[in-house]
């Protein structure tokens, strides 16, 4: 075994000693007259005094009533509450190294002060020397975004399975009972797919889709689909489709074309071809809208907006309430099997505003640690 040199051993010993002294002194009370400016001990004490005098950090943040714990990243704090149905005023519990905390002119008392979380909150922490630090706090509650229009919501973390387990049933978390399932040829569960969150793996070579036959009532002309996915093969695959089968006028699809670009619309009649090309084995957040040709469709890919173009011979008119829905292939017909992982899908029967779309992009960005180009605070 190689022996450490004398100088290396001395550095290690001094490091342990300094760590012990700092830990001990943080709990020690002393007088200014006790300090010897020529001693290491006194210098450490002075450093501790200066540090406490200028400290103005928020060191923890949570909203216990909704079970949300804040993630602190520099001077930004975000919380996620997937089951929250409204943004009524809430009370936060926090710790701070400063002498006071305020929002505007209102002093914030941990466990007592109520605030509305409809917008980003700006906390100002003051140190003993009156220096200030600003923190931005954002609560992401996806169920509060255009809630009446959220018609289907599939998320990997709603499944309770062992890694590699068969996924026979995926519950619709929107509350509209648009659950999808299969009796055989199952996709599989990936317990930790992205940022510790799970996903459903579709192998692509055969039909391993999940579907609901009839009665989805997703029968509106306009729609917005937002999804988190990783294509293994990023060509000629369908992520989600809704329709009565085949490639007729009543088949809405969200797919990746042969050239790797994203397409949404109605086969053989109307489509939006978006030129953003996807890479294999990369996680994306994509949001697409499909609307009549009186407006401009759009795609947000990782928060960046791209305007789509129309093709085909007509506008989208979709009125069949007994449509089928499939995740991982085109509805009914056995084509275009998705090859990759799907972590989350949100389906709205309206064209969401840009602001609402970006809010959901940010929610998914924070949840799955996928950077987006837009500001989330």
| DSSP per-residue codes, 181-226 | E-SSS--EEEEEEETTEEEEEEESSS---EEE-S------S-EEEE
Tens digit of each residue's pLDDT (9 = 90 or more) over 99-114: 999 999 999 999 999 9
CB–CB of 266/250 below 8 Å?
yes
User: What angle (nearest 5°) sits at the alpha carbon of residue 269, between those of residues 265 and 272?
Assistant: 35
Q: Which CATH architecture has domain 146-368?
A: Sandwich (2.60)
Token pair 């009186």 is found at: 294
DSSP per-residue codes, 154-175: EEGGG----TT-B--EE--TTS
In terms of phi and psi (left: phi > 0; alpha: psi -120 to 50; beta: otherwise), the region of 217 is: left
* In the chain, ranges of CATH 2.60.120.200 domains: 146-368
Burial (Cβ within 10 Å: 0-12, 13-18, ≥19) of residue 207: middle
d(CA 35, CA 46): 8
Q: Answer with the residue of higher pLDDT: 118 or 41.
A: 118
d(CA 238, CA 201): 14
Residue 165: predicted pLDDT: 98
Tens digit of each residue's pLDDT (9 = 90 or more) over 16-68: 444 444 444 444 444 544 545 556 666 666 666 666 788 999 999 999 999 99
Kindly indicate the confidence band of residue 3, based on its pLDDT and cuts at 50, 70 and 90.
Answer: low
Tens digit of each residue's pLDDT (9 = 90 or more) over 122-158: 999 999 999 999 999 999 999 999 999 999 999 999 9
Mean pLDDT of the 328-354 span = 86
pTM of the model: 0.81
Kindly indicate the confidence band of residue 322, based on its pLDDT and cuts at 50, 70 and 90.
Answer: low
For 132, the token pair is 């200030």
Say whether pLDDT at 169 is over 70: yes
Average pLDDT, whole number, for the chain?
81
Kindly indicate the confidence band of residue 219, based on its pLDDT and cuts at 50, 70 and 90.
Answer: low
* In the chain, ranges of CATH 2.60.40.2340 domains: 58-142
Residue 161: predicted pLDDT: 98
d(CA 329, CA 333): 8
User: What angle (nearest 5°) sits at the alpha carbon of residue 276, between those of residues 376 and 241?
Assistant: 90
Query: 58-142, which class in CATH?
Result: mainly beta
């Amino acid at each position: 075994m190689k022996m450490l040199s004398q100088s290396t051993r001395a550095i290690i010993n001094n490091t342990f000693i300094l760590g012990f002294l700092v830990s001990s002194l943080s709990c020690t009370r002393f007088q200014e007259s006790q300090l010897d400016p020529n001693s290491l001990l006194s210098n450490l004490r002075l450093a501790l005094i200066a540090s406490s005098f200028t400290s103005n950090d928020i060191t923890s943040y949570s909203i216990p009533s909704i079970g949300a714990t804040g993630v602190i990243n520099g001077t930004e704090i975000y919380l996620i509450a997937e089951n929250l149905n409204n943004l009524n005023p809430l009370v936060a519990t926090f710790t701070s190294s400063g002498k006071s905390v305020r929002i505007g002119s209102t002093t914030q008392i941990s466990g007592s002060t109520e605030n509305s979380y409809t917008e980003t909150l700006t906390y100002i922490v003051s140190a003993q020397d009156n220096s200030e630090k600003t923190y931005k706090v954002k609560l992401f509650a996806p169920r509060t975004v255009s809630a009446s229009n959220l018609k289907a919501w599939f998320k990997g973390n709603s499944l309770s399975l062992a890694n590699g387990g068969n996924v026979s049933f995926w519950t619709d978390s929107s509350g509209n009972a648009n659950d999808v399932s299969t009796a055989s040829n199952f996709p599989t569960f990936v317990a930790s797919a992205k940022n510790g969150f799970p996903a459903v793996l579709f192998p692509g070579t055969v039909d391993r889709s999940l579907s609901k036959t009839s009665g989805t009532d997703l029968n509106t002309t306009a729609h917005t689909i937002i999804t988190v996915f990783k294509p293994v093969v990023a060509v000629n695959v369908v992520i989600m489709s809704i329709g009565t089968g085949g490639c007729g006028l009543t088949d809405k699809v969200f797919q990746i074309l042969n050239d790797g670009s994203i397409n949404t619309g109605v086969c053989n009649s109307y489509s939006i071809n978006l030129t953003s090309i996807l890479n294999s084995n990369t996680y994306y957040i994509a949001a697409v809208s499909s609307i009549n040709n009186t407006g401009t469709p759009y795609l947000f890919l990782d928060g960046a907006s791209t305007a789509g173009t129309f093709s085909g011979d007509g506008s989208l008119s979709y009125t069949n309430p007994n449509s089928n829905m499939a995740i991982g292939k085109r509805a009914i017909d056995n084509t275009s099997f998705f090859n990759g992982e799907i972590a989350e899908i949100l389906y709205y029967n309206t064209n969401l505003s840009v602001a609402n779309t970006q809010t959901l992009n940010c929610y998914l960005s924070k949840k799955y640690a996928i950077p987006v180009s837009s500001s989330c605070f």
